[in-house]
Structures are given as structure tokens and as C-alpha cells.
A and B are shown apart, each in its own frame.
Chain A
Amino acid sequence: MIAHKEEIELMHKYLDGDLREEEEEELRKHLEFCEECQNHFHELKRTITLIQSSESVRAPSDFTNHVMSRLPKEKNGMKYKRWFKRHPIVTAAAIFFIFMLSGMFTQWNQDGELVVSKQENLIVQGDTVIVPEGVVVDDNLVVKNGNLIVKGTIDGDVTIINGKLIEEEAVSGESLMASVGEINGEINSVDRMFEWLWYQAKTLFEKVFSLE
């Protein structure tokens, strides 16, 4: 065997796909008359076939779970990130809701000052808006951060935000004041955050779906 060291070297090169053409020719010629090397070559090729017929095994079914349970703890933020990734619609809705809420909240907190919709002939006394006797308001009236006393007539809806409609007689300074007038429309009184939101949503809804 040692005598044919070179040829054996060629056989290995052949098995590794490294044999040049002239070397292949050389090996072939040698194998034609050398039975010993023929045998050796055959055994090598057979060895490879045998190795390749070796058994195969598969990992146990819970292998992945075992690995995952042994991994070091991941950073906390990742869990939320992944959750958001998996529920894009919920995430979008949540973000929208947050913006909407914060928008309304700023609007709510914008100013504590008395705001009243532009109508003529209204009297403002401190935080109270008065519709004087004999005055006819022919539009919707909105009062924010103040009370309303109606002595005249309103031909429209009345909305009072963060305040109230004073209906009964009340002592305010020198004069007696009460709402004794007429309101020919709906009266909305909003004086809490939740109601304010509800009112906003309702208004939005009406605006969106109004056929006007």
C-alpha cells in the first residue's frame, strides 16, 4: 500500500473533486493493472456510501421550548413593541383615541373664561349671561364657563357648558334675577368632562352625517 502512496493521494483528490484531467488519466491507467489499488479505491468509495447510510435522528418535540425557556430574560419594552406589531389596528385605534382625548382635553382646559356665541343684545354680568326681556335670539346659543338667565325668547337650541341655566329666582347683587323667558329649542347642559366628551362626539357625529 505504501508503495502506491501517490496513487492513493490521487484517489483522495478524486473524491474531493480536485483531480485534474491528466491526473485522472494517470490514475485510470494505474488502476487498470494494479489490483491492490483497485481494491483500495473500491473500499474508499464503499466507506463513503456506508457513512452516508448512517442513522438519522430528530430533535425531541419540545426542543425549541426548552431552548426558549433557558434564554436570558429579554428587555422589558420588547414585549409591548411586539404586541403592537401583532395588533396594528388596535394600536392605530388606541393612538387615534389618545390624540382625540388629548385634543378635547386641551379644548376643555383652554380657558376658564366666559365664552358666549355671537349674538346681539345679550348682557354679560360677571359669569352670567342674560337674555334681557323683550329680546328675541333667533339662533342657537352657546354659553361656556358661565350661567344663563333667560328673560327674553330664544328661537333655537341652548347649550350651556360648565355652567347652568338659572331658572329659579336667585339673589345676585341688587336685583332679583330668574329665567322666566321662553326657549323654543333643546336645552343642553354640560358640566362634566364625560358629558363634554359625549357632547363633542355627538356634535361630530351630527356634523358628519348631517344632510345639510
Chain B
Amino acid sequence: MTQTKGAVAFRNVRKTFGSFTAIPDLTLDIEPGKLVTLLGPSGCGKTTTLRMLAGLESPTDGQILIGGDDVTRLPADRRDVSMVFQSYALFPHMRVGQNVAYGLEAGGMKSAEARKRAEEALELVGLSGLAGRLPAELSGGQQQRVAVARALVLEPQVLLLDEPLSNLDARLRRKVRTDIRELQQRIGLTAVYVTHDQEEALAVSDTIVVMKEGKVAQIGTPRELYESPASDFIADFIGEANVVDGRVLSVEGDVAQVELGGVTLPLPSRGQSPGPAQISLRSNALKVTTDGTGIKGTIASSAYLGDHVEYEIDGPLGRIFVVDDESDTPLPSGTAVALEVRPRGVALIPGTA
């Protein structure tokens, strides 16, 4: 039992709302101690999945296991998970300390002990001394940390976070996500994190589960997803790649020779056989030159953004989006250019022939 503490498993889970099927058939395993992100566009079923794990929705079919135990029919208040809400859901009529101690007291802990533990939890998130405030008297970032403390203090097997950063401004978001990640790794807690922001997902996750229309589109480490997207959807969703048509000329072992806009380059074959194929081309995978060799094209528009220049370039691949780090001499529209391909950031998309 102890080995599986913190493990989460979905077994053929289906969820319908009336005639609408939110999740057709989900099977998913989450290893203990990992931070797993559910990522996807809105309406992809990621929040529904999280809420089923929390016990706030019940699956129409299938099984959910936490720490090896079947919790499918267990109501929310009896599951060993706790959740950080998008809106934080701090009880406005209770002090910060009371908010954090709330779950402990619900579990039957003496209030003096609960208060002490709450104070410790607040310290953990760097808010010691604020226990006596009302939530309304805290800044957004502080409220967010209270919500985290309130969830962590229960020492749950699994911590659930539902878009925990979406109410923070951009600068704060970066800091808080680092804090959350650090805290999670320090405690060694299993965490399930829902977001629609791919950058956030790349930054915090051990594993990312990309979802689309209620199904898992791809599971992998941030790097796997970025470098070897399993579909054009993933390629586009993670890091805004250009998805272009090319051709596999030959395959030798794991290496395929791929023709792309008039140039040939070796890429991991990923099970593709010779023939037409789709290729994911990261916006920073191309170097824009006026005199070099490579894919020919013409600049349709350019935007100077300080440390980099964004180009839209017409050529044999159609219109593609390119980011060039060389910003000293931005090129005007209409310039004829050649695009050198760097092997990093280019990948064959499997099964798209």
C-alpha cells in the first residue's frame, strides 16, 4: 500500500452531461510524487477530469483510484485530496488562519492544534504573521498562497490545482509557479495541475497530458512534447509550430531523409515510411539570411520586438511564421531571403501521411 500512496489512476472513465459527452473514455496513470499537468484548450475536459478526481463530479462510468483504493463513489469530503481553486475560494467571513485550519477542524482536530498547524503551513508559503487578516485584506498573490497553504496543510495524497495562476498578473505568475513547483518537489507530493497555458505547463511539469475533446492527445515530458509532437494539434498547441507539408525520401533505421521546401535534411523517422508527411517547424528553427542557402522565400511582413524580430514569410511551404534572434538589421517586407534549417525544432509528425 505504501508504495502506491499518492498514485492516481483513471480506468476507462466516461463522463456525460445530459446528451453531451465530456470524456468518452479516459485511462490515465499518474506516478506518485510527480507534478502532472492537464493541458488543453477550453472545453477539452481537463477541468472535468480534475473535478472527478476531487469528487466534485461523479464519473458516468469507469473507475478512479487514489493510492490504490477505489474512490469512484467516495464523496469529495472523504477523499484524501485537496484542491486549490481558480478563484481561490477563500471563505470571506473567516480569518486567514481560520481558513487554513478549516479542513483540519473538519477532520476533528482540536482547534489549538489546528491553529498551530495552520501557522506552520502559512510559514511554509511565506505568509507567517498574517493569520489574523481577512482574505479581502490580502493581495492577489497572498490570497493565492493562502489557498495553497489551506490545501497543503491537510497533507493530502494528491494536491489538485485548477488554473491556480490565472488570476495573477504576468510577472507574479512566473514567480508563483516557481514557488509552487519548488514546494511540490520539496514535499514530494503528487500534484495534478490544470492549465490552458502551454508555457506554464512546460515550466512546472514532470509530465504533461495534453487533452483534446475529452481524449488524451499526448502524454510526455515537456521536452518530448516540444521536440516530438505526436500530431499537428500538439505541434501547434505547444509552442506554436508551423505545420508544413514535406516528403520522406528514404528511411534507414531510425533516420529518415526528409525533403522540405527544396532542401533535404535527416530527421528521426518516428515510424514514418517514405511518402508525403507533415512536419512541425518551430518558429525559431529557421535562420533568416539574405545571402545563404536554404528554403527560398519572400518576407510578407515583419515586426520588430526589441530582442527579436517576427517575420511572416511566403515561400514553397506557404506562409510561415519565423522568429529571428538577429534583430540588429530587421529586413523590410518584400526582401528575398533564404531560410537555413536548424535540425533542433524540426520534427516529423507521425501518422500524418
Query: Do the two chains belong together in a single complex?
Result: no
